[in-house]
Amino acid sequence: MYEEGRTVISKNPFLNQNEKNKDAYLVEIRGNDIGFSYALEDTTTIIGRSSDSNLMLFSDSVSRNHLSIIKLSDNTYLIKDNNSTNGVYVNGIKIQEVTLRDSDIIKIGDFGFKFLDEHNDESQYHKELYNLKNFDSLTQIYNKRYFNSRLEYEFERVIRYNKELSYVILDIDFFKKVNDTYGHIAGDYVLKEFAKIIKSTIRKTDILGRVGGEEFAIIIPETPKMGAVILAEKVRRLVELHKFVFKSDVIPVTVSMGVISMSNFEIIPTLNDFIEKADDLLYLAKGEGRNQVRYL
């Protein structure tokens, strides 16, 4: 029987309950990914628009190598403006170089971050909230809501800066048959293993999401069509060769994919056109026998 007034608290699967902060963190409080926390693990962390930066911020308001955060030998952190165009502000004051203190607010162009030192447990709280909001609890990759928001953002950025963008839509073949034959727990196992294979194959700058029951997608920034096709074919082959074993059952798994790139269009498409073309290619792959990659 349901008991009114009773609160049940369960453990977050993303959070290591025994984890202790070893690093300071930046938590995004203004920008494109509010709640995101970045661990300052390196001796020097470069923040800027450049793809060589440790923490990339995509905005005209941010210089290519906007600032550096340097971890000193006494575990304090020095923030330094690298001659940026729009400057660096700490607690509303423009700085050239200053030692950060716990809970300092850093303004970088259109972005805002809160600095939390390694003694501040608030970073765990932010990580937990961020993961609950943006990640799929089963596969621990981005959920559909977050993935779609990133796709929209990357699409707009590519149009603005005239860069390349590729997109891959993936669907596990005959997944209903997996559930029907081996059970839903086995199906969950297949989904988790499948996500692990893709995560281990893509770059850090690529964005993987679960966008349906057995449907996944990858955003591949600044990559032309053939680069995305090579990645997709690599994933297809790895899935085909991987031994999915649940209890004593070996489960055969293959995947069909559609790959699209901005270079496929003579005129700039809408985001819906872009997604629909990838879906058409996925359906073509499935209609022509599955376990294949289709592209224009």
Contacts of 238 (CB under 8 A, 6+ apart): 197, 201
Q: 128, 214, 240, 288: which is the annotated catalytic residue?
A: 214
Torsion (CA) 202, 205, 211, 216 in degrees, nearest 10: -10
Question: Which of these, 264, 195, 193, lies nearest to 226 by C-alpha position?
Answer: 264
CB-based contact 169:279 (threshold 8 Å): yes
- Please indicate whether residue 214 is annotated as part of the active site: yes
d(CA 194, CA 172): 9
- Catalytic annotation, residues: 214
